[in-house]
Amino acid sequence: KKQEKIDQLNHTTYKPNTDMETPLFNINPNLKKLGVSATLQINEVSNELISNGKKIYKFGLGESPFPVPDIVVEELKANAHQKSYLPVSGLFDLQDSITKYLFRSRKMEFSPKQILIGPGSKELLFILQQSYNTDLLLPSPSWVSYAPQAHIGNQRVFWLKTEASNKWKLSPEVLDAHCKGNQGRPQLLILNYPNNPHGYTYSGEELKALAAIAAEHQLLVLSDEIYGELNHAGDHETIASYYPQGTIISDGLSKWCGAGGWRLGFLAFPEGLSWLKKAMATFASETYTSVSAPIQYAAIQAFKGGAEIDNYLFQARKILKSLGGYITEKLRGLGCNIENPDGGFYLFPDFSGFSEQLNQIGISTSDDLCERILQETGVAMLPGSAFGRPREEYTMRLSYVNFNGGDALKAAEQIPLEAPIDTAFLQSYCSNCIEGINRLSDWLKNNTVLYK
């Protein structure tokens, strides 16, 4: 009778389920609260509208417009035959290449054993949050996936207040006040600079002040420096210089090397956090095993640098600085209080000063604003609410990468090194971005939203 009961339960449990609204086996309840990542969703929506014949200006997804440098592509071709599983923490020669890269670019000394290679820094950030039971501290606004990753693991997220007047940057005072009011649990602060979504970065003095607070409260800091090489001035600094014992540096190939789809990132751990690296490697060994072998071999060349990589970065920064400045000036002309970005390829305009006028035409949230603009102009942007800002605040993230980066790089190389990228260049080689901003400007004028 006992076996009959077990068989009956098994039969009941495993019978096909046709009611998809009430699945028999439930998914992780934390996942049910989330949707597809906002950046990926806007890209899918944009592509669907394009396939339906609509002209779309893709200011939503933040993907580098520039091709992977030829010298790195050739290295990938040369290593296409590499087929073996590599060590969980990464290929030793790649780890070694990264330590040399970090010394050149950050003046930070690491050994290869302190480097963990993963399939994109995004995956490594997720594994970090799942391996270390901690509260997550995020300046608001922050990148769209930090908080959802924490929610999946049922961890608490604290949004730290920032102000547009301070270029949305976290202040030492706000961080200190939070830490004093929330003692007793480990806390992880993620600091991203140059920042996604607003494009600003921290000075050395600002990093030093934040580091002092982090050290006082023994915070773990994840320094997300994926846009570090795209600092427009080429002078990126790291908070690890001021708080080396408690800072993990995160970087990869996706943004500065134009290799988002290659999926290769790394974390650099201080010696005192070797226990955390070991825990994450254990997690990795039971999930993705190791990063694709050909990609790791090719990445050695990318992190070696050299004249070709240096010229590639110089031209990319020059183009992005000019285009970001042009669009910023256009946004200021629309009545937006915004300053030129320091790096990367994002802007975070705030039109909250015109909330009354926007409400008059039926727009009450940043989501409404982005949806209306997309449908009526084809300009695809993301609402500030996707980055931790209040929905009723009219902020938007604008990613200015909708142009052929390969053509732009070739053209930029014909310009004297000290000569600026002018408007004529932008109109020729970044025409989609220029046209999209003009469409946005015209929509606002035609609706008399900002000109009443």
What's the whole-number mean pLDDT along residues 50-79?
Answer: 92
Residue 18's pLDDT band (boundaries 50, 70, 90)?
very low
Q: Which residue's entry shows tokens 């035409």?
A: 361
Report the alpha-carbon distance of residue 153 to residue 169 in Å, rounded: 27
Comparing 388 with 9, the larger pLDDT belongs to 388
pLDDT attached to residue 15? 42
Q: Where are the beta strands (DSSP E) in 132-219?
A: 135-139, 157-160, 187-192
Which tens digits make up the pLDDT trace of 301-324? 999 999 999 999 999 999 999 999
Report the alpha-carbon distance of residue 357 to residue 360 in Å, rounded: 5
Which tens digits make up the pLDDT trace of 352-374? 888 888 888 899 999 999 989 99
Query: Is pLDDT above 90 for 450?
Result: no
- Non-local (6+) Cβ contacts of 196 within 8 A are 62, 143, 227, 344, 346, 397
Rounded mean pLDDT of the chain? 90
| Residue closest to 268 by CA, chosen among 301, 223, 236, 303 | 223
pLDDT attached to residue 309? 97
pLDDT attached to residue 234? 96
| Residue closest to 144 by CA, chosen among 325, 389, 452 | 389
Identify the bridge partners of residue 344 per DSSP, sorted by sequence position: none
| Residue closest to 441 by CA, chosen among 377, 393, 385 | 377
Query: Is pLDDT above 60 for 239?
Result: yes
Report the alpha-carbon distance of residue 312 to residue 306 in Å, rounded: 10
What's the whole-number mean pLDDT along residues 400-423?
Answer: 95
Domains of the chain as residue ranges with CATH: 57-63+308-446 (3.90.1150.10), 84-304 (3.40.640.10)
pLDDT attached to residue 3? 52
**Percent of the chain beyond pLDDT 90?**
77
Which tens digits make up the pLDDT trace of 190-213? 999 999 999 999 999 999 999 999
Strand pairing category for 115-118 and 57-58 = unpaired
Comparing 34 with 434, the larger pLDDT belongs to 434
Comparing 178 with 10, the larger pLDDT belongs to 178
Which tens digits make up the pLDDT trace of 113-150? 999 999 999 999 999 999 998 999 999 999 999 999 99
Which tens digits make up the pLDDT trace of 77-110? 999 999 999 999 999 999 999 999 999 999 999 9
Comparing 72 with 17, the larger pLDDT belongs to 72
Query: Is pLDDT above 60 for 36?
Result: no
Query: Is pLDDT above 50 for 391?
Result: yes
pLDDT attached to residue 33? 60
pLDDT attached to residue 29? 61
pLDDT attached to residue 37? 52
pLDDT attached to residue 422? 96
Comparing 31 with 254, the larger pLDDT belongs to 254
Quote the pTM value.
0.89
Q: Which residue's entry shows tokens 């705030």?
A: 350
Report the alpha-carbon distance of residue 402 to residue 266 in Å, rounded: 27
Comparing 10 with 83, the larger pLDDT belongs to 83
**Percent of the chain beyond pLDDT 70?**
89
